[in-house]
Structure 1
Amino acid sequence: MSSAAQVPPSDRVVDGPTPKHAQLREILRRAVESELPPGSSIPSERELAERYQVSRLTVRSAIGKLVEEGLLSRVRGKGTFTATRRMELQLYLMSFTDDMRRRGRVPTTELVRGTTEIPPAPSASALGLGDRQPAHRLVRVRRADGVPLAVERGWYHPGRVPGLLDLDLTQSLYAQLAQRYDIRLDHAWQTVWAESADRETARLLGIRAGSPLLAFRRVSSYQGDPVEDMTSWYRGDHYQVTMQLDRNSPDFGHQSKYGGTR
């Protein structure tokens, strides 16, 4: 036995109506969720195959599904590990930099693209721009402790943040909006959906194409004037969203001025 964390040997994989890979997947799931701490290595495919008397293909299928679900992660050349617990995505107006620091993590930002160009019609409408009026566009990768967690693609109103591209865009943008423009975003509409990573987003995040993502589109304003239309793609293996729901909501089905129900 290697130094990998112990997976309970008392569970057995047996012949029956439930496929063996599904039985093994549930054995591993129980161990990951209740017994193994985050970052623990699990036994190799060979060890698991011998222990549960199944084929390596069965083991690979069981582990692969748990990797897709974000419970396990593969590290090339090192093995398979239990994933770190998912962080709660903040649903209030706080910068990524401040959010990571609050969690005790070290945030860094990579600027992938900073341009001024014609935005697509939905973004132009959200920002209150005229036909063919350009806007500032930013594409950034956000990391915590060196791990890429999110890709942000945002559009910004050029009249409210002139010279935006001259800022140090590897630092907190919200802090610089406050310092340079005296803009402290105070209201936003946000839409959330699930999405699979396309090839470009997957490359920026260092994950496989098709991996699960949580996508957020947020239109933020200051004193009633829209400033930012940003969509962020967060890794589904690192984040989850929890919301409090009340039985009666007076805003249910409320139509957003940016289009759609929010």
Structure 2
Amino acid sequence: MQNSSFDLTGKVAIVTGGNGGIGLGMARGLARAGASVVIAGRNQEKNESAAREIEAIGARAMAVTVDVTDNASVAAMVEATLAQMGRIDILINNAGMSVRQPAHALSLDDWQTVMNTNLTSAFICAKAVYPAMKQAGGGKIINIGSMTSIFGAAYAPAYAASKGGIVQFTKSIALSWAADNIQANAILPGWIDTALTRTAREQVPGLNENVLNRTPAKRWGNIDDLAGAAVFLASPASDFVTGTAIPVDGGYSAQ
């Protein structure tokens, strides 16, 4: 019998960047807990493929093409979700990207692109869903940070700055919207095996060995390792948890 504290039946979740990687892992977790899931991303073909995977689990799903850095596009995503699903209870701000250059080699355009995609988008999306959550009597916002929310990154200063900002933004909206029964928390993934980190392993010599040596669990994470934390933070089990940042990293940040 499912623990009702973690039951998401009747809830509607938007997962940005939910068409692959950790976003898809979290979307699958929410679906298994009973939520209807909106897969939101730039690539509609990938969105639809992920939505079919969610439906195969037995959950309702829809695919929405969105540019999370654009106010109008995000507003259209929210409008489409409300029209088809009727409500918005959960937002996972997962869309993200990186440019691997040290600060002295990083262009201003690249800096701004990373900041807009990773940090400004979280502001745009959270602000866009706020009215629906307030009207419904509460909601859950989960922002995806990184180990670079804690540590610097010599090869990715824009990414690290954006992910540090995610934690402070999370704390700020947790305080702002507590009176509306909206909880906001961050998940800080460690080294997870995704297309993004596979590219990093190709570009950064010794990365694989360094990660395995430092991670007490002695493995890379997989995308389903994020599901438990996402379900917890999306569910009634976390109704008194807000403004936190939870590493899911196999112990990487503990030492």
Higher relative contact order (CA 8 A, sep 6+): 2
| Structure with the larger strand share | 1
TM-score range, shorter chain: under 0.3
If you compute each CA radius of gyration, which structure gives the higher value, 1 or 2? 1
If each structure's helix is expressed as a fraction of its own residues, which one has the higher value? 2
